[in-house]
């Protein structure tokens, strides 16, 4: 899940190109980065533009075929929230119905904290890979959520997305044109789909955050290349990390590779510090930028690039979470939690 620190909180919507429409709705759970001279907590508000939602999902378009192959993604039915046993330690934000947003200050750890981060990262990675084995035509994302939920609590951890603001599920499942924060539902996966599964676990007071994009059945070469390049962009970004390295170098190396393959880089959703809190400083931008800041020994944060074949502009569904590309072009994402070490970076969310 992407978040960003703000000095001047405001909510905006950017559905209509350069026209920004402000809203006073008390929604604080989905953040974007605004490159104006300051940072803003802001979001895409589809409910402000019900006409656009109607255009995307009315009866005329419900069977629209994209690229002559797949249908435009549509919401399914969302099952009730799954229970968590009382003995499982929960993050402070659970049941508050308010997402805490970004916490100021870096997540820098002592020896004990590092070991806790390694444990939560390892579990998140195991859950991610297990979830990937479930990706098959006919399986619903709700079934994946159920399996993820059960595996996390069986390991004594809490599924961090569940109850983050009003997010109703234990994992994010983003299919095809869904950029991020897809809510698991009754839609069966189809042959040729790609799906990002975003797992975060809260274990012994620390969050481990990771995601990967998986193939469902026979995926065409265009989709395979997008997924492979997105994974490569993450790997390249991690390879340059280390104490004293500027965060902005992450954005440059990702953007350079995306440009080489003529892919879009989603700008509205960012990597973030992670540890004892879900979202903390720094804001990690995946595109070229001139933001200040350098990496610090023993800090942890995520890198989570989102690349698109077509438009990089996001549209949010009326659930106030699911974000899709405005032209229904494919999007892929990969994410790791990393620890800055004296020798570079340790990937905490590898199996």
Q: Dihedral through CA 69, CA 71, CA 72, CA 75, nearest 10?
A: -150
At 13 the pLDDT is 21
Within 8 A by CB and 6+ apart from 10, the residues are 22, 40, 41, 42
Q: Is 261 annotated as a binding residue?
A: no
Query: Which strand (E) or helix (H) includes residue 130?
Result: helix 111-133
Q: Is 209 annotated as a binding residue?
A: yes
At 61 the pLDDT is 55
Question: What does the block give as tokens for 347?
Answer: 């990937």
Q: Is 335 annotated as a binding residue?
A: yes
Q: Is 272 annotated as a binding residue?
A: yes
Q: Is 34 annotated as a binding residue?
A: no
Q: Is 198 annotated as a binding residue?
A: yes
At 47 the pLDDT is 37
> What gap in Å lies between CA 158 and CA 124, rounded to an integer?
11
> What gap in Å lies between CA 77 and CA 243, rounded to an integer?
46
Q: Is 109 annotated as a binding residue?
A: no
pTM: 0.86
Angstrom CA distances, 282 to 104, 165, 248, 276, 279, stand at: 8, 21, 11, 14, 9
- Could you read off the pLDDT tens digit of each residue along the chain, which spans 351 residues? 655 333 223 222 222 222 222 222 322 333 444 444 333 333 333 333 334 444 444 444 556 777 777 899 999 999 999 999 999 999 999 978 788 888 999 999 999 999 999 999 999 999 999 999 999 999 999 999 999 999 999 999 999 999 999 999 999 999 999 999 999 999 999 999 999 999 999 999 999 999 999 999 999 999 999 999 999 999 999 999 999 999 999 999 999 999 999 999 999 999 999 999 999 999 999 999 999 999 999 999 999 999 999 999 999 999 999 999 999 999 999 999 999 999 999 999 998
194-203 and 172-175 strand pairing: antiparallel
């Amino acid at each position: 899940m992407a978040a960003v620190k703000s000095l001047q909180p405001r909510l905006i919507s950017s559905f209509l190109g350069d026209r920004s429409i402000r809203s006073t709705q008390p929604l604080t759970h989905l953040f974007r980065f605004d490159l104006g001279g300051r940072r803003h907590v802001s979001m895409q508000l589809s409910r402000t533009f019900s006409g656009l939602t109607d255009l995307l999902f009315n009866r005329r378009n419900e069977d629209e075929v994209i690229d002559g192959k797949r249908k435009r993604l549509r919401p399914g039915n969302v099952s009730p929230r799954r229970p968590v046993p009382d003995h499982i330690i929960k993050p402070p934000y659970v049941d508050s119905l308010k997402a805490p947003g970004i916490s100021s200050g870096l997540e820098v750890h002592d020896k004990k904290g590092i070991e806790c981060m390694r444990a939560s990262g390892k579990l998140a990675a195991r859950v991610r890979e297990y979830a990937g084995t479930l990706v098959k035509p006919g399986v619903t994302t709700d079934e994946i959520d159920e399996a993820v939920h059960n595996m996390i609590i069986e390991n004594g951890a809490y599924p961090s997305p569940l109850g983050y603001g009003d997010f109703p599920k234990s994992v994010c499942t983003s299919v095809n044109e869904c950029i991020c924060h897809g809510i698991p539902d009754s839609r069966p996966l189809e042959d040729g789909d790609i799906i990002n599964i975003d797992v975060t676990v809260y274990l012994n007071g620390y969050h481990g955050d990771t995601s990967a994009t998986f193939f469902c059945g026979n995926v065409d070469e265009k989709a395979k290349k997008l997924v492979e390049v997105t994974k490569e962009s993450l790997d390249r970004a991690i390879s340059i990390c280390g104490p004293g390295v500027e965060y902005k170098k992450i954005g440059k190396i990702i953007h350079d590779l995306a440009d080489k393959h003529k892919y879009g880089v989603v700008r509205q959703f960012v990597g973030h510090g992670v540890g004892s809190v879900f979202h903390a400083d720094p804001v990690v931008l995946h595109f070229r930028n001139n933001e200040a800041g350098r990496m610090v020994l023993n800090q942890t944060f995520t890198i989570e690039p989102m690349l698109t074949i077509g438009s990089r502009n996001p549209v949010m569904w009326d659930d106030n979470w699911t974000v899709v590309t405005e032209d229904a072009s494919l999007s892929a994402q990969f994410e790791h939690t990393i620890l800055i070490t004296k020798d570079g970076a340790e990937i905490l969310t590898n199996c």
